[in-house]
Structure 1
Amino acid sequence: MKKITHLFYIFLFIINFQQLYAQVDVVYNDLVWSDEFDANGAINATNWHHQTQIPAGGNWYNGEVQHYTNQLANSFVDAGFLNIVAKKESYTNQGVTKQYTSARLNSKFAFLYGRIDVRAKVPVSQGTWPAIWTLGKNINEDGGFFDAIYGTTNWPACGEIDIMEYGITPSQPVNYIQSALHTPSSFGNTTNVGGINANNLGTDFHIYSMNWSPNEISFLLDGVVFYTYNPAVKNVSNWPYNAEQYFLLNIAMGGVAGTIPSNFTQATMEIDYVRVYQNTTVDTQAPTNFTASVGNITSSSIELLLNADDNSGTAKYDITYNGITVSSTSASGIQKSIIITNLLANTNYNFSIAASDLAGNNYVSNPILLNATTLGNLNCSGTDTEAQQGAFSIGYTYDFETISTDVKITFEMLDTDKVGVVAFLWKQSPFGETQMTNVSGNKFTHTLTNQLIGTTITYAVKFAFAGGLSVTKYFNYVVGDNCTLDNHIVTNSLDFKFINPVNDFLEISLKNEIDKIEIHNMTGNLVLKTSLDTNRVDVRNLSKGIYILTVYSENRRIVKKMIIN
């Protein structure tokens, strides 16, 4: 390359390698394909295919208004850069006349797992939609390079990975770029979206990367991960990413990218290089020093802490419980925290955990067996930030209340940067979606009728708004439970009483003898325990906040939320 010396490239690779190692689950080291764009003139026909055939109906998708051409004016190499140029010009092809031209390039190279780096400067002109992305090699799309031989699968079942898109997020700042994934479970206005601001987007070059392993896909800007897609349980609906993909470079015009100004003449995306890395060395060594233990426990989740060494630099873990298998990978010798969510409250779970590497070499003493029990139901009400799809900038509140045999569910989005918010209640199994009633602002409610007292129900809420979606985690709630916070004396059938909130001392009134008292924080950690028969506990060393109080008495357990002032 013409810009920096090979020695400096080696230095940059070492720095990026170290940074990637700490962020992604698999580090890919071996350059297997690249185009450095060193030869001026037409693009390298060995590497690239011009996709120009218009889809049925005479128009490209998403309301786009351009012709893609193989004209030298729309795609060429100059001074070490590939130029993709969108132009305002009348152009007739395939019997259709359009007022804009551009280029859409398919790589003639496809790969399964690895990292792709593209150093590029993208246009920010209104109405343009520059993109760096991939499609499954098996896509049935007339005119695509691989279609004639491999095109057996329709979109989105082939899978699409958008590494970088610009111009289709009008609610975001000028320098905002987006990454997205389209699968049978979420496509079009997909919820599998991440984004970040790229400084001086229209004037500076940035490195746009996608790191793809068998377990997760991460997106990076200039070597820093900003979004990772990793469904806990993968299937054909949410993970079509187990077959080869090829990459595309293009600029679309209009449609979802917005109105094209009347004074628009042309816009250019400049690309310095495209590089693909994989690991090509055959690995025959199995992982060693595999350990597994239980971490934090809540009423709906159990954390597993896993660690193993492997010569390849990557360890793979397969966790099986209740007929479900969850797989994840991690850097060798670095503890991996895997949180198993959507569990039932006060329920015992057995986990079988096996360690291997990406070459299929198994730890000699697989599996390790672990056992843990979730805490009592704590999901009556509270505040959270966790999202299973999309993201929350501030978070949300939730409240479950049993009224006779009905359950009133209320959620409020606390984010202030979302507009046009509507809410839908998601039932986990069998899946169902019900629109909720707006109470005020971004607060929504829905009542489930004729519920069976003592059963566990599992629900989440999808907040839809201008430009996207955010979905809360699933909450387990035991119908009939009343674990909401009370700012007065709490009682139950055992004549259990305490003053809530608590100041320096927790004072409990209970007619039966107390066997022990435990206090957990909201992440499930035990922060105080006493086995003395006492009704007065010193809590002055605990920070202000919300805790879970558990009192054991005569083989019975009382669980309440508690505030410490």
Structure 2
Amino acid sequence: MKKYLFSIKNSRFLVLILLIILTTYEANAQVDVEYNDLVWSDEFDTNGAINSTKWHHQTQLPNGGSWFNGEVQHYTNLITNSFVNNGFLNIVAKRENYTNQGVTKQFTSARLNSKFAFQYGRVDIRAKIPTNQGTWPALWMLGKNVNEDGGFFDAAFGNTGWPACGEIDIMEHGITQSQPEGYIQSAIHTPSSFGSTVNHGGTIAANLGNDFHVYSMNWSPFEITFLLDGVAFYTYNPAVKNAETWPFDAEQYLLLNIAMGGVAGNIPSNFTQATMEIDYVRVYQNTLEDTEGPTNFTASVGEVTSSTIELLLNADDNSGNVAYTISYGNENITTANPSGEEKSVIIPNLTPNTTYDFSVSASDVTGNEFINNPILLSATTTGVTGCSGIDTETQQGTFSIGYNYAFETIGNNVKITFELLDTDKVGVVAFLWRQNPFTEYQMENVSGNIFTYTITEQTMGSTISYAVKFAFAGGLSVTKYFTYVVGDDCTLAVEPSTEIDLITFINPANEYMQINSTVAIDKIEIHNLIGKLVLVSSTFNEPINIKNLAKGMYVVSVYQGNKKSVKKMLVK
């Protein structure tokens, strides 16, 4: 509901508070750290020019006279390109000849820097964006230390080049023409991942261009999560956080703009102007001083498989958030969760039939620790009993690449995991289909396009049959039905007529493996247990480097002519 429809000042204030509470409630349910205190905002209540105490017009052209990415606009401080009207900020990109800094361009727009910078918090921006061909509306952030002439903070703080300063793209549209209508993207740029926008996620916004949506970013010391209308769709959380992957331990500021052309594509000859309307920009942090550590800390072991151990953690803290540190061997994992909510942490890449000892500590985000840290836990991974592979066959729709599948027996349960390998599908969700009697179950998203579901209380030796429906923007594809015998271990299955004789290698392997064979080898393939190919080699008479393989169980396939041998390999 538009703010200006409320004429009584007090009523409008109450509605604003209600909207803040509702937005906060929806977003917090899916983030690791909750931020609840409104520390900076612009509600765009005063008609006319933008609030110059909060925003800076960035108009200076980069060296060479053109903006980056092949863009063709001038950014101006003209009120025709940025103004407030009826409670909304309007950023307008226009076709018009405009000369500035000795350069004439055919398009104008606005690029606004916030004069407020912050470290950690949540940003909510309610906006309606243009979808015109050739436009690139963006809501984003840059490190306060970026060396970019003409930026608000540059003169005093600009000592770091891009992307070492870090860039957080909350929302951008128009540069992913291969994606379906309504697709918006969020992205992270760092020294390790800026080339072809490696770290990014996207989702479909309903009726984009005609409706307002809330674009949100939640930034904690541990991860950055992006949300559309309170629903999380992408989280950036690199396993190793350093200057290359995580320059996000320093202040950043906000940018609002519409770029034209370049990677956004050709601008139609009939284009005249496009407008991005912004209802509000709000930044939340936690401002109360906190001197009390967490209480009621509990930690226990959850589901255990051949390669993973689940730890279930919970604690209360007056700040509203709890940080957990898990140590095992030489590894450390740090994560966070809202106070009083159980946190499930999956420890990956473990070795089957191995006992692991964990030391788990709880603190609040400011460092106050639980008085009886740490809690010590121990768990032993199971043996591997299951089947896996890769396929492309469908019963409905098509796959451009295919999918990985894995059936693993764990006690009396069967864990079913499928990974969609197609890169042209967005907004993917997955449903497990039981063949007889037909039943559909929504699968849990593990990461990326990997989904899992566990069938409980199965009988050893019984036969089950399941397929997976992948639903995505613009359609769906359904795998064939896979028949699996509960308790069966088919990763070693070999057709006797095609097996190569006398294939041996040292097992377990460490850093290197070498195939010993009485015949010449054509090819060696190594797959993980969900069927993903992780290494290919045509060399068998010298050691093969496997240093980049994570610890765990793999399947080694050796080929010679029409013969094949398949064996398990444990990497330590």
Which amino acid in structure 2 is aligned with residue 385 of structure 1? E
Aligned to 2:4: 2
Residue 123, structure 1, aligned to residue 130, structure 2: yes
Aligned to 2:196: 189
2:169 is paired with a residue whose SS is strand
Distance change in 2, residues 1:448/1:326 (3 Å): farther
Which amino acid in structure 2 is aligned with residue 409 of structure 1? I
Q: Taking every aligned residue pair, what percent have the same amino acid on both sides? A: 62
Aligned to 1:359: 366
Which amino acid in structure 2 is aligned with residue 240 of structure 1? P
Aligned to 1:497: none
Aligned to 1:327: 334
For residues 121-167 of structure 1, what are the alpha-carbon distances to aligned partners after superposition, in whole Å with 9 as ceiling and x for unaligned? 10000000000000111111111111111111111111111111011
- Residue 55 of structure 2: which of 48, 55, 59 is its match? 48
For residues 216-253 of structure 1, what are the alpha-carbon distances to aligned partners after superposition, in whole Å with 9 as ceiling and x for unaligned? 11111112222222223322222111111000000011
2:24 is paired with a residue whose SS is helix
2:211 is paired with a residue whose SS is coil
CA apart distance, 1:11: 2.7
Distance change in 2, residues 1:477/1:306 (3 Å): same
Residue 28, structure 1, aligned to residue 42, structure 2: no
1:451 and 1:350 mapped to 2: Cα distance?
A: 36
Task: Give the conservation status (yes or no) of the 8 Å contact 1:232–1:327.
Answer: no
Distance change in 2, residues 1:266/1:479 (3 Å): closer
For residues 78-107 of structure 1, what are the alpha-carbon distances to aligned partners after superposition, in whole Å with 9 as ceiling and x for unaligned? 222111111111222222222111111110
Aligned to 2:144: 137
1:186 is paired with a residue whose SS is coil
CA apart distance, 1:363: 0.3
Residue 304, structure 1, aligned to residue 334, structure 2: no
CA apart distance, 1:451: 7.1
For residues 395-416 of structure 1, what are the alpha-carbon distances to aligned partners after superposition, in whole Å with 9 as ceiling and x for unaligned? 99999999651731369999xx
1:31 is paired with a residue whose SS is strand
Aligned to 1:338: 345
CA apart distance, 1:43: 1.1
Which amino acid in structure 2 is aligned with residue 2 of structure 1? Y
CA apart distance, 1:372: 2.5
CA apart distance, 1:316: 0.7
Which amino acid in structure 2 is aligned with residue 11 of structure 1? L
Counterparts in 2 of 1:228-307, with a 5 A limit? Answer: 228-307=235-314
Which amino acid in structure 2 is aligned with residue 328 of structure 1? T
Task: Give the conservation status (yes or no) of the 8 Å contact 1:16–1:223.
Answer: yes
1:385 is paired with a residue whose SS is strand
Distance change in 2, residues 1:219/1:59 (3 Å): same
Which amino acid in structure 2 is aligned with residue 202 of structure 1? G
* TM-score (normalizing by structure 1): 0.72
Which amino acid in structure 2 is aligned with residue 61 of structure 1? F
Residue 18, structure 1, aligned to residue 25, structure 2: yes
2:538 and 2:386 mapped to 1: Cα distance?
A: 16
Task: Give the conservation status (yes or no) of the 8 Å contact 1:457–1:477.
Answer: no
- Residue 63 of structure 1: which of 67, 70, 76 is its match? 70
1:475 and 1:349 mapped to 2: Cα distance?
A: 13
Distance change in 2, residues 1:379/1:318 (3 Å): farther
Counterparts in 2 of 1:136-535, with a 5 A limit? Answer: 136-376=143-383, 381-382=388-389, 383=405, 384-385=418-419, 390-391=448-449, 394=470, 405=515, 407-409=524-526, 449=540, 459=549, 476-477=552-553
Aligned to 2:84: 77
Task: Give the conservation status (yes or no) of the 8 Å contact 1:407–1:479.
Answer: no
Task: Give the conservation status (yes or no) of the 8 Å contact 1:457–1:478.
Answer: no
For residues 387-438 of structure 1, what are the alpha-carbon distances to aligned partners after superposition, in whole Å with 9 as ceiling and x for unaligned? 9985469599999999651731369999xxxxxxxx9x767xxxxxxxxxxx
2:557 and 2:305 mapped to 1: Cα distance?
A: 17
Task: Give the conservation status (yes or no) of the 8 Å contact 1:456–1:479.
Answer: no
1:451 and 1:296 mapped to 2: Cα distance?
A: 40
For residues 542-562 of structure 1, what are the alpha-carbon distances to aligned partners after superposition, in whole Å with 9 as ceiling and x for unaligned? xxxxxxxxxxxxxxxx99xxx
Task: Give the conservation status (yes or no) of the 8 Å contact 1:40–1:79.
Answer: yes
Which ranges in structure 2 are unaligned for 5 or more consecutive residues? 7-11, 390-404, 406-417, 421-444, 452-469, 471-476, 483-489, 495-499, 505-514, 516-522, 559-565
1:23 and 1:344 mapped to 2: Cα distance?
A: 31
Task: Give the conservation status (yes or no) of the 8 Å contact 2:528–2:555.
Answer: no
1:161 and 1:47 mapped to 2: Cα distance?
A: 20
1:101 and 1:426 mapped to 2: Cα distance?
A: 49
Which segment drifts farther, 231-240 or 364-373?
231-240
1:187 and 1:449 mapped to 2: Cα distance?
A: 37
Which amino acid in structure 2 is aligned with residue 331 of structure 1? P
Which amino acid in structure 1 is aligned with residue 525 of structure 2? K
1:322 and 1:231 mapped to 2: Cα distance?
A: 20
CA apart distance, 1:175: 1.1
Task: Give the conservation status (yes or no) of the 8 Å contact 2:145–2:159.
Answer: yes
Distance change in 2, residues 1:348/1:411 (3 Å): closer
CA apart distance, 1:446: 5.5
For residues 442-494 of structure 1, what are the alpha-carbon distances to aligned partners after superposition, in whole Å with 9 as ceiling and x for unaligned? xxx655645769x97654xxxxxxxxxxxxxx684457699xxxxxxxx99xx
1:127 and 1:20 mapped to 2: Cα distance?
A: 31
1:138 and 1:35 mapped to 2: Cα distance?
A: 23
Task: Give the conservation status (yes or no) of the 8 Å contact 1:233–1:325.
Answer: no
Distance change in 2, residues 1:322/1:237 (3 Å): farther
Task: Give the conservation status (yes or no) of the 8 Å contact 1:456–1:478.
Answer: no
1:72 is paired with a residue whose SS is coil
1:261 and 1:227 mapped to 2: Cα distance?
A: 32
Which amino acid in structure 2 is aligned with residue 44 of structure 1? N
2:448 and 2:243 mapped to 1: Cα distance?
A: 20
1:23 is paired with a residue whose SS is coil
Task: Give the conservation status (yes or no) of the 8 Å contact 1:457–1:476.
Answer: no
Which amino acid in structure 2 is aligned with residue 85 of structure 1? V
For residues 17-74 of structure 1, what are the alpha-carbon distances to aligned partners after superposition, in whole Å with 9 as ceiling and x for unaligned? 3323321112211111111111222111111111111112222111111111111111
CA apart distance, 1:203: 1.1
2:29 is paired with a residue whose SS is helix
Which amino acid in structure 1 is aligned with residue 82 of structure 2? S
2:50 and 2:138 mapped to 1: Cα distance?
A: 18
Which amino acid in structure 1 is aligned with residue 202 of structure 2? G
Aligned to 2:95: 88
Task: Give the conservation status (yes or no) of the 8 Å contact 1:26–1:331.
Answer: yes
For residues 336-364 of structure 1, what are the alpha-carbon distances to aligned partners after superposition, in whole Å with 9 as ceiling and x for unaligned? 11112223344333221110011211001
Which segment drifts farther, 132-141 or 10-19?
10-19
Distance change in 2, residues 1:168/1:426 (3 Å): farther
Task: Give the conservation status (yes or no) of the 8 Å contact 1:302–1:372.
Answer: yes
Task: Give the conservation status (yes or no) of the 8 Å contact 1:28–1:278.
Answer: yes
Which amino acid in structure 2 is aligned with residue 209 of structure 1? S
Which amino acid in structure 1 is aligned with residue 320 of structure 2? G
